[in-house]
């Protein structure tokens, strides 16, 4: 099974084209933020870019919003296939989003800041379709450019394996380290943002293509933990 690759932080038509030409399996649009992100979009910008995304490429709304109705309403506006709840929300909110989301897939971000992330991921997994593991700082919930302890992420993959809940790995990934990350963690999918950008914050064609190719190539050298669907 090939590990899927998502390119997040799409903020222009050019970014989207570059991600698609790189062979990304999913693209992420950041909208509705409570913490800083230079890739945050207005609702209209996100709706337009999601509308330009072709079939069979997953359109992911990445949001910090904390109200279930607002989250689902924004996903409806974009026509998102997947909702990535990246904010600091309660389990009740995640359950409400899943109930209201009209069949959309729900990802819940868990920030790997220590061993307590294992229990946090197990709790989150009960109410979503996949758990996304990311790094964070005091003022940023994602896009930090920093890796976290992959041994903890690997422990989460093992812990969720029995329930068949997929794990998406994010946080400081680049074309240079993605193979090592995949071998260490064995995730279902990987997610990159700042690791494939130019110094101006735009998506870099060569970096995007190298990242996706390296992720797909690394997949062929071992058997990822295949979620039971």
pLDDT tens digits, residue range 96-153?
Answer: 999 999 889 999 999 998 899 999 999 999 999 999 998 765 555 555 567 889 999 9
Per-residue pLDDT, 142:
54
The answer to whether 39 and 9 have CB atoms below 8 angstroms apart is: yes
Per-residue pLDDT, 55:
95
Per-residue pLDDT, 227:
45
CA–CA dist 90, 144 (Å, integer): 23
- Is 134 a known active-site residue? yes
Report strand pairing: 167-169 vs 130-134: parallel
CA-wise closest residue to 5 among 28, 39, 30: 28
Residues 6+ apart with CB under 8 A from 5: 23, 24, 25, 26, 189, 190, 191, 192, 211, 212, 215, 216
Per-residue pLDDT, 146:
73
Q: What is the CATH number of domain 4-219?
A: 3.20.20.70
Using alpha carbons, list the distances in angstroms from residue 50 to 38, 74, 137, 192, 226. Answer: 18, 12, 28, 18, 28
CA–CA dist 21, 212 (Å, integer): 10
Q: How many of the other CB atoms lie within 10 Å of CB of 158?
A: 14
First-to-last CA distance in the chain?
14
Candidates 134, 191, 204, 208; catalytic one: 134
What residues of the chain score a pLDDT lower than 50?
222-229
Per-residue pLDDT, 136:
65
Per-residue pLDDT, 145:
64
């Amino acid at each position: 099974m090939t590990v899927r690759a998502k390119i997040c932080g799409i903020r222009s038509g050019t970014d989207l084209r570059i991600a698609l030409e790189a062979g990304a399996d999913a693209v992420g649009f950041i909208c509705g933020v409570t913490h800083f992100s230079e890739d945050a979009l207005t609702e209209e910008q996100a709706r337009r870019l999601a509308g330009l995304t072709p079939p069979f490429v997953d359109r992911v709304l990445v949001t910090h919003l904390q109200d279930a109705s607002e989250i689902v309403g924004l996903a409806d506006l974009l026509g998102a296939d997947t909702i990535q709840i990246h904010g600091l929300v309660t389990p009740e909110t995640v359950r409400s989003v899943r109930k209201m989301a009209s069949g959309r897939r729900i990802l819940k971000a868990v920030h790997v800041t220590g061993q307590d992330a294992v229990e946090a991921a197990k709790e989150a997994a009960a109410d979503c379709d996949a758990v996304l593991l990311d790094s964070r700082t005091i003022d940023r919930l994602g896009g930090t450019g920093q890796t976290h302890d992959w041994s903890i992420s690997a422990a989460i993959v093992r812990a969720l394996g029995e329930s068949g809940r997929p794990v998406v790995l994010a946080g400081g990934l680049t074309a240079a380290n993605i193979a090592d990350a995949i071998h260490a963690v064995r995730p279902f999918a990987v997610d990159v943002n700042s690791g494939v950008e130019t110094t101006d914050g735009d998506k870099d064609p060569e970096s995007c293509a190298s990242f996706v190719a390296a992720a797909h190539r690394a997949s062929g050298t071992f058997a990822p933990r295949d979620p039971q669907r």
